[in-house]
Amino acid sequence: MTLVDLTTPTVRSSRLVGLPVAIIGAGPIGLAAAANLVERGIDFVVYEAGEDAGASIQKWAHIRFFSPWRHLIDPASLRLLEGTGWAPPEGSGLPTGGEFVASYLRPLSKLEAIDSRIRYGATVDAVSREGMDRTRSAGRADTPFLLRIADANGVQEVTARAVIDASGTYLTPNRLASSGLDPLGLPAVAGHVSHALPDVLGRERHRFAGKRVTVVGAGHSAANTLLNLAALKREVPETQITWLIRNAGAVRVTTSDDDGLAARAAIGKRVDRLIGTGGIHQLDRFEILRVAPIQGGVRLIGQRAGEVVEHDTDVVVNATGFRPNLDVLREIRLELDEIVEAPARLAPLIDPNVHTCGTVEPHGFAELQHPEPDFFLAGMKSYGRAPTFLLATGYEQVRSITAYLAGDIASATKVQLVLPATGVCSTGPAGSSSCCS
C-alpha cells in the first residue's frame, strides 16, 4: 500500500448500504468506537466474547490503573453519558480495573443506543469478505465483510460494511521461552504456570502464599504482580519471590521523576527498593529454554552468558506481555510491521527496540489503514507487541476512524493527542532518537 485513501464516501457501494459497522470487542476502545458511531448516526454491532463489558479488564480487576481518571474517559462517551446525568469520577483518582468497569465502562455499555447493539457471548472466529478469500481483488472494496461468530446457538456468519477490530491482546499472552515459543516440556508443568496479573492477595492467594514464586517478564504486569507478592510476603513471610528477566535490567519500567504519570514511575521505584532490601530476588540474563517437573513445582532450564542454568520454583507467573491474535484475520489483507506486528505506519512510532515511551505522535485512520479498505485495528491490538499503549491514544484512533467512515475526511485527518510523557526513553542503536523529546 503506498497511498492513503482519502476518497471514501460514507458508503462505498450499493452492496454495502444498510450494513452496520462491525466492532470486535466491548472493551474501552470498542465501546468508544460505538459512542463515536452513535454520535455520527452510523449503525454498528459490537461482538463481545465475554458476558459483560470490559471482560478482559475484569480479569485484572484487582490491579490499579497508573493513569488518573481524567486520562481514562473517552470524550464522545463522556458526552453521551453526561446526557443521562452521569458524572465522571474525580479526575486525579486512580481506579482499579474493577472500579473502571463498574463506574464507567458498564454504565456506558448500558446506554440504550449502545446496549441494543452489543451481542455478548459472541466470539469472532474469523473475518473475511463475502464470497472472497484474500487472493481475489476485483470488486473487493464494494464487497461486504463476512464475520464468522461463535455463540451459544452455534456458529453463524454476519456481514458488515466496515470492521474495527478492538479485541485487545490480553487473551493471547507471549510465550515463556526466550525464543518466543512455549518452552519444551510445558504440558507437563502447565498446572504450575499462572497467567499474568494473578490475584495473589485475593482469589488466587492459596496458590502463592508461602510458596516459591517466580515472575517472568520485565514490564508493568510483572512489576504489579511483584508488588502484590511483596504484600503477601509481609503476611506470609515464607513466600519467596524471584523476578526472572532475560536482559540485564527491566528497562521498560520507568522510574523517572519526570514521568507525567507519577503512579507509573512509582511502580518501578517500589520494585527497585524491594530488590535493594532483599524482598525480591532478581535473576537477570536468564533465557528460558526448557521446563521440567520437579516435586511440587517446576525447574526452569535456560542459558546465561552461554552457560546452562537452572532455577527451581513452585509457581511461575508468565508476565512476558501480550501479542495480537492474527489468526482470525488470515483472509484480510493486512500491512503489518514485521517486528512489532502493528500497522506499518504506526509501528515506527512505538517499536520498543527504539523507544520505551508511552508518548506517541497523534495518529488516526491514515496510519491505521491496511490494503484491505475499511478494515482497522484499534486500541491495544493496534500496538501489536509493543507494550506502551494508553487509552487516550486509542480514543483518538477511533474518533478518527469513525470520522473517516462517516466521510468526514477533514475531521478524520485532524488528529490531536496530548499524552503525559514517560520522562524516560531508551535510545535507538545510534544512541539517537528519543520519542518523548
Question: Shortest distance, CB of residue 71 to ligand FAD, whole angstroms?
Answer: 6
Q: If binding is defined by CB under 6 A, does position 423 make contact with ligand FAD?
A: no
Q: If binding is defined by CB under 6 A, does position 49 make contact with ligand FAD?
A: yes
Restricting to residues 97-136, which ones interact with ligand FAD according to CB under 6 A?
123-124
Whole-angstrom distance, CA of residue 57 vs CA of residue 106? 12
* Cβ closest to ligand FAD, residue 27 vs residue 217: 27
User: Do 161 and 45 meet the contact criterion of CB atoms below 8 Å apart?
Assistant: no
Of 294, 301, 299, 371, the C-alpha closest to 129 is 371
Q: If binding is defined by CB under 6 A, does position 227 make contact with ligand FAD?
A: no
Q: Site mask, ligand FAD, residues 1-40, x = CB under 6 A?
A: -----------------------xxxxxxx----------
Question: Shortest distance, CB of residue 54 to ligand FAD, whole angstroms?
Answer: 6
Of 30, 19, 219, 207, the C-alpha closest to 114 is 30
CA distances to 165, 403, 409 from 10, rounded to whole Å, are 19, 10, 10
Question: Shortest distance, CB of residue 236 to ligand FAD, whole angstroms?
Answer: 23
* Cβ closest to ligand FAD, residue 124 vs residue 291: 124
If you compute the radius of gyration of the chain from its CA atoms, what whole number of angstroms results? 22
Question: Shortest distance, CB of residue 250 to ligand FAD, whole angstroms?
Answer: 16
Segment interacting with ligand FAD (CB under 6 A) among 46-54, 108-116, 341-349, 420-428: 46-54
Q: If binding is defined by CB under 6 A, does position 217 make contact with ligand FAD?
A: no
Q: Site mask, ligand FAD, residues 311-340, x = CB under 6 A?
A: -----------------x------------
- The C-alpha cell 513452585 sits at 314
Q: If binding is defined by CB under 6 A, does position 302 make contact with ligand FAD?
A: no
Q: Where are the beta strands (DSSP E) in 256-346?
A: 281-283, 287-294, 297-304, 307-313, 315-318
Whole-angstrom distance, CA of residue 146 vs CA of residue 380? 23
Whole-angstrom distance, CA of residue 346 vs CA of residue 338? 12
Would you tell me how many other CB atoms lie within 10 Å of the CB of residue 175? 15
Question: Shortest distance, CB of residue 39 to ligand FAD, whole angstroms?
Answer: 18
Would you tell me how many other CB atoms lie within 10 Å of the CB of residue 153? 9
* Cβ closest to ligand FAD, residue 59 vs residue 311: 59
Q: If binding is defined by CB under 6 A, does position 347 make contact with ligand FAD?
A: no
For residue 216, the SS3 value is strand
Residues that bind ligand FAD (CB under 6 A): 24-30, 47-50, 54-57, 60, 63, 65-67, 123-124, 166-168, 170-171, 197, 221, 328, 379-380, 389-391, 394
